Chain A
Amino acid sequence: MRSSVALCLLLFNYAVHSHEQTPTYPKWTVSGVSEVKKTQIRLWNSRPDIEYYEIGVFDGDWQPIPFVTAYKILPVKYLQEVKVDIYIKKSNIEEARYVCSLSKLRSNNESQTLLVTRICSKFK
């Protein structure tokens, strides 16, 4: 137990570069256009190595569902919060299960493992 706590404290001391998305369970709301519904997610980027996130909407089998946003790959600066409006046809709402944001990497010249993060909210 003591060693576990010590390890946690040690790991907490590393610089944390994170990706966050809320809400966990978004809801579809009216969009102002008939036959089209809207939802909103919030992204937070504290990864200095990431400048772009890709948005995707998927069904229960992780097949992509058509949707509309201002940008499918959107710029999110370091330490910036972005709210993304996502529009979908009413006919696709029953199929839509997940809305996800995926970090997009940039290249550099070191042999390393890179970390791609993806967070998915679920329509219940």
Chain B
Amino acid sequence: MKKLLIALSLILSATPIMAADIDGTVESRCTVATTVDGKYGNPNAYTLTTDPASSGQVPVIRFDTTLANAYYAQVTYPTSFSSSPSLADNVTWTGAVTLKAHGESGMSGYQAASTTTGAMRQYGLSVAGSVWFQSTSVAVYGGNRAFPGGAYKAVVLAECVAQ
């Protein structure tokens, strides 16, 4: 028995030790996702709005980042229709981009720290994780005239720009 143990210990000590390295890198990335599609409600003949009280739906956009301070999120509410029936009068646009929800507690100050340029609001994504923004918009046809019948589309631009 003693000989067997000695033999085993000799074999084990002669076995080369294999070190298996596991390498990995954390790659910074940004993902922009639509979580809720926007839809216009028509509370009266001359207004199109994303307000849910008027049968509209506010679009919600999610930004996922894996590293802090690597990206800006920029969301721009629409200021024109990308497609619509022919319109003879001006359309007045109003809108707002706001923080809807956040996955990390450090993101609660995003709205206060954000900046605006025209219809675009920029957020510095200083914490890694998921954050949701919503973009409301209201289009009122000039002189309170009725919008012509047809489909109306407007574009919300969501950008993730490396810092």
Contacts and interface: CB of A to CB of B under 8 A. Distances in A.
Contacts of B124: none
Contacts of A8: 101-103, 130, 132
Interface stretch (A22-30, A31-39, A82-90): A22-30
Contact of A120 (B64, B100, B160): B160
B35 A14 contact: yes
Point out which of A14, A17, A20, A115 has the most chain B C-beta atoms below 10 A from its C-beta.
A115
Given A22-B29, A23-B27, A11 B35 contact: yes
Contact of A114 (B32, B60, B82, B160): B82
Contact of B34 (A7, A47, A108): A47
B153 A111 contact: yes
Nearest to A99: B162
Nearest to B65: A24
Interface in B11-65: 27-40, 42, 48, 50, 59-62, 64
Contact of B158 (A105, A112, A117): A117
Contacts of B152: 111
Interface in A59-93: none
Contact of A20 (B30, B42, B50, B130): B30
Interface residues of B, number: 50
B137 interface: yes
Given A114-B156, A117-B159, A120-B159, A25 B33 contact: no
A25 B35 contact: no
Interface residues of A, number: 37
Interface of A: 1, 4, 7-8, 11, 14, 16-25, 44, 46-47, 98, 105, 107-122
Interface string B142-160: 0000000001111111111
22 contacts: A8-B102, A11-B36, A17-B34, A19-B33, A47-B34, A105-B82, A111-B153, A112-B39, A112-B40, A113-B153, A113-B154, A114-B153, A114-B156, A115-B59, A115-B61, A115-B158, A116-B157, A117-B159, A117-B160, A119-B30, A119-B160, A120-B159
B115 interface: no
B123 to A, nearest CB: 15
